[in-house]
Homo-oligomer: A and B are copies of this chain.
């Protein structure tokens, strides 16, 4: 019981600071990728901050593992946590959890479930899209034969990918860029599934209410 409490207390105290740290991480990454004219000194500072933040995420993971009192089974049961430590750019996606926590403190839900799912899907899409566009841009920039040459191109490509439209007027050509792209396509499918699922559930719910309200006549 005490261990459980230790975990919960750690979780509650670190959640918000870690989320802000992950946003800072994303910001530092973005500056390093986008600010081309940055002096060598500033680049080093940004890299140092990036590594410091990453160490923080690693320490948090190890502390949680320790507090859980579990052995290797912890790693197996919290695969997402390990992924998020290895790829800190995905960490801001936890915004959903933060949002949920904050929302629950306000005593009652303000949004219906489907509106919430669409809100989460949108937030996730924006964060995933931004991190993905940065990574693909930094991988493609300067590659021979690349069609994604500006960050604007990368954002445009990202939007067409996440909505599964897929124009293909510009596409990544480097192995790194394509690997990230595949992850984004999967994200696009999940996004489409979430939007469709919410719509579907909303239609069904509305229909059921309509039916109940009407007299059960012939």
Contacts and interface: CB of A to CB of B under 8 A. Distances in A.
Contacts of A198: 193, 197, 203
How many copies the complex holds: the figure is 4
A198 B160 CA distance: 24
A119 interface: no
- Which size bracket describes the interface of A in this complex? 35 or more
A204 interface: yes
Interface in A169-218: 169, 171, 175, 178, 181-182, 185-186, 188-207, 210
Secondary structure of the A side of the interface? helix
22 contacts: A113-B203, A113-B206, A113-B210, A152-B178, A156-B182, A159-B181, A159-B185, A163-B186, A163-B189, A166-B167, A166-B168, A167-B167, A168-B169, A190-B195, A190-B199, A192-B195, A192-B196, A194-B199, A196-B196, A197-B200, A197-B204, A200-B201
Interface of A: 109, 113-114, 117, 152, 156, 159-161, 163-169, 171, 175, 178, 181-182, 185-186, 188-207, 210
